[in-house]
Structures are given as structure tokens and as C-alpha cells.
């Protein structure tokens, strides 16, 4: 049974939870998995194609259930947890007092990301550090790719979208990134910056667009494969 949730439409197809979405830039009906929400998202290019999207999803109900069953369990931030930050293993730790998060060398010689406080306050300081680090890295790589292509620097913002790693609005000169890519290898983060900057040249995913990406970072296939393989784990981190 379908029901309204704000501007979204949700329904159930043979036991598979679905969310319908209209994206007028989409060329066809498609399905993606929202691991954080625990549901499949059906994307249609127009309201008229929503019925087609539902019919398509019903033919893929087993696949949707399997993908949802395979998604990583949500994991919260906790002292002692090891995150990969900019390609390096970093252990989360607690500082005395209420200090902001910072990197330091731990007692075992390894790198720690330590913050003061406890509970939600401690987690918030860790998250603020990761977002700040993500912004610094992504702005830096965006500047490099824009400069190489002779483009003005766009307005860059850091968000936490449920599925996209980045998005570009060429007409407004804006790029939005997910802070979670700071947990990916630096080469993957650089690919994402090159990808979004290339959209300032070509708004679509045409061969011309991919040629610009390849011009900047070479073959993007390994980085796209990494995100496809590990992206659900990055989204499983609850903050």
C-alpha cells in the first residue's frame, strides 16, 4: 500500500520497501539501494513514469531484498573504533576535558583522533573534525582541477546525502560533496572532485564528460569500483 511522506511516495512490493522519486534529469527508470534508510529508491524521469518504475521494481523484488539483506549493519562512533581517514588507519580516542578533536600519536605509536567529552558531545567533535578535513581536502582538489581546466572556482559545500557522493549545479556554479569521502582513499576523493568539476564543462555523463575526467585523473574505473564496493560501509557509519 502506498502512502505519502512529505513529497515522497513509499510503498511495498512483495515485501521489499520502496521509495519513489522523480528526477527530471534521468533518462530512464532505475533502482538504487539506500542502505542508510534500508529501502530501495525507484527513480523515474517524470510522474507519468512512476507506474513503470513500480512495475519494474516488482520484477526485481528478489534482487532488492537480497541487496538490502547484504547491507552492512549501522555502526556508531565509539572510542577504540578504527576509521580510515585519508587512507590511514586512525583510532578514535577520548581526551580529558572538552577539547576539540585532533590527531595525535597514541601510546602504541599509531595515529589517534581524540576529542574531549562523552556520548553525543564527543561524537559531535569527532564528526566536526571529519567534516572540516573533508572540506579542506575537497576544496583543495577542486581548486586544482578547476585551475587545470581554466574554470573559476565554484562554491563548495559539504553535506551528508543518502546516496550521491557529490553533485554539481553548473548554472549556479556550485558543487556539493559528501563528507564521508574523507573515509575513502585519497585517489577516490580526487576522482570525485575531478568528476564534479568535469560537470562544470559537461552537465551530462556523455563520452565528452568522461574524456574530461580521464584527462584529469586517468582511468576512473578503479575509483568508481571502490565506491561501488565500499560505499555502503561508509554510509553505515551513523552520526
Average pLDDT over residues 10-15: 67
Residues 6+ apart with CB under 8 A from 217: 187, 190, 191, 194, 223
Q: Which of 192, 206, 119, 107 is nearest to 156 (CA)?
A: 192
Q: From CA 149, how far away is CA 198, in angstroms rounded?
A: 9
Please state whether beta strands 155-159 and 174-178 pair in parallel, antiparallel, or not at all (unpaired): parallel
In tens, the pLDDT along 81-96 reads 999 999 999 999 999 9
> Domain boundary residue among 53, 70, 87?
70
pLDDT for residue 2 is more than 60: no
pLDDT for residue 18 is more than 60: yes
- The total number of structural domains in the chain stands at 2
Full residue range of the structural domain in which residue 66 is found: 10-70
Q: Which of 167, 173, 192, 195 is nearest to 181 (CA)?
A: 192
| 5 domain-assigned | no
In tens, the pLDDT along 174-191 reads 999 999 999 999 999 999
| 108 domain-assigned | yes
Residue 20: HSE in the Cβ half-sphere, 13 Å Cα cutoff: 28
CATH number of residue 102's parent domain:
3.30.2010.10
Q: Which whole-number Å values give the CA distances from 179 to 1, 2, 33, 107, in the listed order? A: 35, 33, 19, 28
> Domain boundary residue among 29, 55, 70?
70
In tens, the pLDDT along 53-107 reads 888 888 888 888 877 777 777 789 999 999 999 999 999 999 998 799 999 998 8
User: If pLDDT is split at 50, 70 and 90, which confidence band does 36 have?
Assistant: confident
Please state whether beta strands 237-238 and 75-76 pair in parallel, antiparallel, or not at all (unpaired): parallel
Q: Which of 194, 198, 175 is nearest to 186 (CA)?
A: 194
Q: From CA 162, how far away is CA 34, in angstroms rounded?
A: 7
The pTM (predicted TM-score) of the whole model is 0.79
Cell readout for 77 is 562512533
pLDDT confidence of residue 199: 97
In tens, the pLDDT along 124-149 reads 999 999 999 999 999 999 999 999 99
User: Taking CA 64 as the corner, what is the angle to CA 61 and CA 159, rounded to the nearest 5 degrees?
Assistant: 140
Amino acid at each position: 500500500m502506498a502512502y505519502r511522506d512529505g513529497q515522497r511516495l513509499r510503498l511495498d512490493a512483495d515485501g521489499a520497501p520502496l521509495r519513489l522519486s522523480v528526477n527530471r534529469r534521468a533518462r530512464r527508470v532505475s533502482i538504487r539501494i539506500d542502505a542508510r534508510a534500508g529501502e530501495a529508491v525507484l527513480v523515474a524521469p517524470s510522474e507519468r513514469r512512476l507506474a513503470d518504475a513500480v512495475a519494474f521494481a516488482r520484477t526485481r523484488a528478489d534482487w532488492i531484498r537480497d541487496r538490502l539483506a547484504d547491507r552492512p549493519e549501522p555502526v556508531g562512533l565509539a572510542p577504540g573504533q578504527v576509521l580510515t581517514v585519508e587512507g590511514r588507519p586512525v583510532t578514535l580516542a577520548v581526551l580529558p576535558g572538552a577539547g576539540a578533536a585532533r590527531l595525535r600519536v597514541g601510546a602504541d605509536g599509531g595515529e589517534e583522533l581524540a576529542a574531549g567529552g562523552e556520548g553525543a558531545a564527543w561524537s559531535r567533535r569527532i564528526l566536526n573534525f571529519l567534516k572540516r578535513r573533508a572540506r579542506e581536502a575537497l576544496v583543495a582538489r577542486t581548486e586544482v582541477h578547476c585551475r587545470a581546466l581554466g574554470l573559476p572556482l565554484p562554491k563548495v559545500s559539504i553535506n551528508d546525502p543518502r546516496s550521491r557522493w557529490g553533485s554539481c549545479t553548473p548554472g549556479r556554479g556550485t558543487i556539493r560533496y559528501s563528507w564521508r569521502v574523507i573515509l575513502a582513499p585519497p585517489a577516490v576523493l580526487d576522482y570525485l572532485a575531478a568528476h564534479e568539476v568535469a560537470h562544470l564543462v559537461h552537465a551530462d555523463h556523455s563520452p565528452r564528460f568522461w574524456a574530461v575526467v580521464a584527462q584529469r585523473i586517468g582511468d576512473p574505473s578503479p575509483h568508481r569500483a571502490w565506491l561501488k564496493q565500499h560505499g555502503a560501509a561508509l554510509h553505515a557509519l551513523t552520526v
